[in-house]
Structure 1
Amino acid sequence: MESGSSLHAVETVILLLLVMVAAFAAMARRLKVPYPIVLVLAGLLISFLPHIPRVPLDPNVVFVVFLPPLLYASAWTMSWREFRRNAVVIGLLAVGLVGFTVWGVAFFSDHFITALDWKAGFLLGAVVATTDAIAATSIAKTLGLPRRIVDILEGESLFNDATGLLALEIGVGIILGGQTPTLGGGLVRLGYLVVGGILIGLLIGFIVSWLEKFIDDGPVELVVSLVVPYAAYLAGERAHASGVLAVVACGVFMSRKSTQFFSPAVRLQVQGAWDALTFMLNGLVFVLIGLQLPYVLTGIHGRYTTGTLILYGVVFSIVLITLRLVWVFPAIKTASFVERRLMKHAEDPLQPREVFVVGWTGMRGVLALAAAISVPEVLGDGRSFEARNLIVFLAFCVILVTLVLQGLTLPALIRVLGLAGVSGMDPEEKEARRIVLKAAVRHLEEGRKRDGHDTEHVYDDILHRYRHKLAAIGVGKEGELHEVDTEAISRMQAILEEALQAERRTLIGLRDKGKIGDDVLRTIERELDLAETRYQGTPIA
């Protein structure tokens, strides 16, 4: 009976959390506020209500259950071309900024927080140094930020976890055993984390992409896609490399290969299922952050006055934001010099207002809180680690300030700075559509000449439709659509599918040549998938 009651309690909590996610996400949409912010605040407020079930945040659940699929989904949507273009600045943020933050926090803690020495400060810096991929992706894309800024933030948050993991390992080692690592040893360990994680992720991606040649069933593909991120993460961790980078590398590789092994119908099924899954997991993560307040306050209760805690939380958050802004400006200036002078990139450097937005958008999320909770409670000599509860509290404060305060101020900030996204079709997407449609028109014109007069009226009708699409994006002349003779329906379907395949080949070619990003490819590819699915086995109206 006890196990049954425990199971019912777990079911009740999960149901309550899912209802909260759905209700408050709908409210966020009505308020036009990014839903992660609303969910964190909702969890925070609900945690004060009596008789609300307490849901402790287990770091193992975060790292093993939530993290792999969410990282995989973020990596899947990341543009490889944009990452290569911004690789220098992403590297300076993902590696340099993490180290700068750790040492800055250690110095500040040693001199200004009486309860922390430099060792505890180093550990605190490692806990909060990395930005959160989940928060960055969920918030930045909904605020109309310029695409390049989003690409930099997303790339940084996906790749800085290896550096943060190394810093956390070093910090725990210093606290538990007084170990002071050498610079050479740290660089070797970082290299193994990065290279090992990436190679493991690529290996798993290669194996799965080969197996995908023998699968073309929606439910089976969905199960495989769910297994892959967990397999990559666990393999990376088992090899003592970066499980995070293994998932990211595997996700980027599989995303690019998916254009070849997913059929249109399967791709739509898998994408729809993953959209729902990532929304649900994201929602649960942000609600759980808010619900942790009672545990954070319980750990710190009685040790410090309320005024002292508020002062520590506010000042520490300001210091962390300042450290990021101090690093970002010279780092992006350096990256721009390297890209333009040494790598011969023709892109204009980021303007100071854009650099400021990059510096201001340093959200922390559930990973920082999970890392803080994972800090050991007992030192190597058996004594309790008195500073642990304060580290957890300060990490919680930073999450609230960076996620809620900075997230809520971003829309006004980008409007004031004139960085709000422009309405209408992106120029790159428009050009890609023009090239793809023209390729289909050429294919149809060649087919009309090849097949002769018997199907000429069918080709004319389809060509008219394509020219109508070209006119819609400013190319060609608009005209009325002709009706198709019912006797030519089957032939028209075959011709349309051939034309769609010509579009698809051209689109993938543009991506592979680096002329368009993966985001543009996915936008147009989804439309082609929908069109091809509609034509296959369905009469054309």
Structure 2
Amino acid sequence: MLAYFPYLLALVIVIVFLIMLANRIRIAYPVLLVVAGLIMSLIPGIPAIHVSPELIFVIFLPPLLYEASWSISWKELWKWRRIICSFAFVVVFLTALSVAFVANAFIPGFSLALGFLLGGIVSPPDAVSAGAILKFVKVPKRVSSILEGESLLNDASSLIIFRFALVAVATGQFVWYHAALSFAWMLIGGTGIGLLIGWIIMKIQRFLPTDANMDIVLSIVTPYIMYMMAEEVHSSGVLAVVSGGLLLSNKRYHFLSGTSRLRGVNVWESFVFVLNGLVFLLIGLDLPQITAGLKGVGFSSAIGYGLLITAVLILGRILAAYGAVVVTLVMRNFITVADSRNPGLKGPLVLGWAGMRGVVSLAAALSIPVYLKDGTEFPERNLILFITFIVILCTLLLQGLTLPHLIRKIKLPDFKDYIPEAQADDLIEKELATRSLQYVSENYTSQTQTHPFLYQLTSKWKNKEIGDTESSISVDIKEVYADLLAQQRLWLLAKNEIDKSLDEDVIRKHLHRIDIEEEKLKHL
């Protein structure tokens, strides 16, 4: 491993420069990284990196899922829960089913079990790719929220299908009631373990004397603990990380200090940046190893199979997107839905076209064991790997490169789900000023009249302005200002719960500002 260390450092530097280039030419960096890895793999003498298949999930998935669960808005996840769950569970299952039947019918030697295995691998769209692409174009909040929420949950459902299919291939049988019990345990056990470990971590950080460094280290090891504990008892490690991450994310302002939140964001952004970069570069670098393992299948035939499965995935997702609209329009007559208006043809088209595959599909494919328990080779393993690679490459290049142009061309309507950001900022600042003035007048009237810092602060609030206040202040006035900031945070959290017309990203921006103000207060 030590011999590979300089090579790994070089790869990280290459990743940084490629992402800089991707930002410069305004394309999604996963596309450029995969293509660059593919080109690098053709250079003679480039060493191949072999990662043990069983370690793929443990190394990459837990932190990537944990970071995604911290980034997503719980309010958005709940608001669009029906369509998110339908895409994350129903559509994933139907996609795997479609792939299974097509593979069984058109790929020689593929049983239905192998088809389901392939379907479980390639069914989940990749959140990183979609997020990197949507960064360059403006889409309605509902579209980005649905894509983020779906990607957070579809990994769990697809990997559950993958695990059951793996057992069916290995044993040659599928007992439905055993599968049903296992499925229930994976859902309940995984979710329960994640919530339990999240609760324990939260109590540790709340009641023990931790500092920012300790909090960040705990945040890094937490997803690994959740994942490995759940997998150890044969439940879903993915669901454990997602459920535990959502719990801790939703409670972050109750057990983490502002310093820990500010520093943690920077550390996690860098950590996930490197992990994502390595994964997408490895996708391209793995091609020679994958193609070398093809046995009994011509190279052109294997490419054809990959293109066939890619077409099934793209067509199936687009049909599912429009099918979800039809179901929503029917069900609005019987239940309350997030939005009963007809979204038209444009929104579902974007949702259907944003189906790039990536990290999870690669990790699942590489985790297929080389040999069965009886010592025989796992059937069609290398062909499954090759088809997965073709699917990832084609969806990234075809959909990834064309999605921004599609969004600009069709001009999605403004669904007016939320107050515009500028208006929301103004509303929040004015109400914060009003609430703060009221709190000061009730609790700190005498200090306001005698100390210039508080007098300056209240003057700005009276003018409905909240800005920087640079001044040397005494310890007791620092305590007053810290109390005011704490009250502002509590009001913002309550406002986010009550007012459904406010985008949670705007609320988080103001919460972040309060954390910065608290950090500045330590140095005044």
TM-score (norm 2): 0.90
Counterpart residue number, 2:153: 159
* Cα shift readout 1:397-448 (whole Å, capped 9, x = no counterpart): 1111222321111111111121399998365455334433332233344456
Pick from 37, 40, 54 the counterpart of residue 60 of structure 1: 54
The verdict on how the C-alpha distance between 1:131 and 1:453 changes in structure 2, with shifts beyond 3 A counting, is: closer
Matching of residue 513 in structure 1 with residue 498 in structure 2 = yes
Is the 8 Å Cα contact of residues 187 and 239 (structure 2) preserved in structure 1?
yes
Q: Which moved more, 1:168-177 or 1:331-340?
A: 331-340
Q: 1: distance between equivalents of 2:448 and 2:104?
A: 84
Aligned amino acid, residue 250 of structure 1: G
Correspondences of 1:250-289 after superposition (within 5 Å): 250-289=244-283
Q: 1: distance between equivalents of 2:399 and 2:139?
A: 14
The verdict on how the C-alpha distance between 1:186 and 1:303 changes in structure 2, with shifts beyond 3 A counting, is: same
Q: Which moved more, 1:414-423 or 1:173-182?
A: 414-423
Q: 2: distance between equivalents of 1:420 and 1:65?
A: 40
Is the 8 Å Cα contact of residues 106 and 122 (structure 1) preserved in structure 2?
yes
Q: 1: distance between equivalents of 2:516 and 2:32?
A: 33
Counterpart residue number, 2:511: 525
Q: 2: distance between equivalents of 1:144 and 1:49?
A: 38
Counterpart residue number, 2:194: 201
Pick from 85, 110, 115 the counterpart of residue 116 of structure 1: 110
Residue 352 of structure 2 aligns to a residue whose secondary structure is helix
Counterpart residue number, 2:394: 401
Counterpart residue number, 2:383: 390
Aligned-pair identity (%): 33
Matching of residue 462 in structure 1 with residue 457 in structure 2 = yes
Q: 2: distance between equivalents of 1:483 and 1:106?
A: 65
Aligned amino acid, residue 70 of structure 1: L
Q: 1: distance between equivalents of 2:224 and 2:214?
A: 16
Is the 8 Å Cα contact of residues 58 and 370 (structure 1) preserved in structure 2?
no
Q: Which runs of 5+ in 1 are unaligned?
A: 1-5, 473-480
Correspondences of 1:155-304 after superposition (within 5 Å): 155-182=149-176, 184-213=177-206, 214-300=208-294, 303-304=296-297
Q: Which moved more, 1:237-246 or 1:459-468?
A: 459-468
The verdict on how the C-alpha distance between 1:117 and 1:78 changes in structure 2, with shifts beyond 3 A counting, is: same
TM-superposed deviation, 1:110: 2.2
TM-score (norm 1): 0.87
Aligned amino acid, residue 438 of structure 1: T
Aligned amino acid, residue 409 of structure 2: V
Is the 8 Å Cα contact of residues 447 and 454 (structure 2) preserved in structure 1?
no
TM-superposed deviation, 1:246: 0.5
TM-superposed deviation, 1:160: 1.9
TM-superposed deviation, 1:510: 1.5
Pick from 354, 357, 370 the counterpart of residue 350 of structure 2: 357
* Cα shift readout 1:77-119 (whole Å, capped 9, x = no counterpart): 1111111111111121111112111211121122222343433
RMSD: 2.9
Is the 8 Å Cα contact of residues 124 and 357 (structure 2) preserved in structure 1?
yes
Q: 2: distance between equivalents of 1:216 and 1:57?
A: 35
Matching of residue 343 in structure 1 with residue 329 in structure 2 = no
Q: 2: distance between equivalents of 1:333 and 1:523?
A: 36
Counterpart residue number, 2:8: 14
The verdict on how the C-alpha distance between 1:277 and 1:402 changes in structure 2, with shifts beyond 3 A counting, is: same
Counterpart residue number, 1:501: 486
Counterpart residue number, 1:412: 405
Is the 8 Å Cα contact of residues 63 and 220 (structure 2) preserved in structure 1?
yes
Is the 8 Å Cα contact of residues 84 and 149 (structure 2) preserved in structure 1?
yes
TM-superposed deviation, 1:138: 4.4
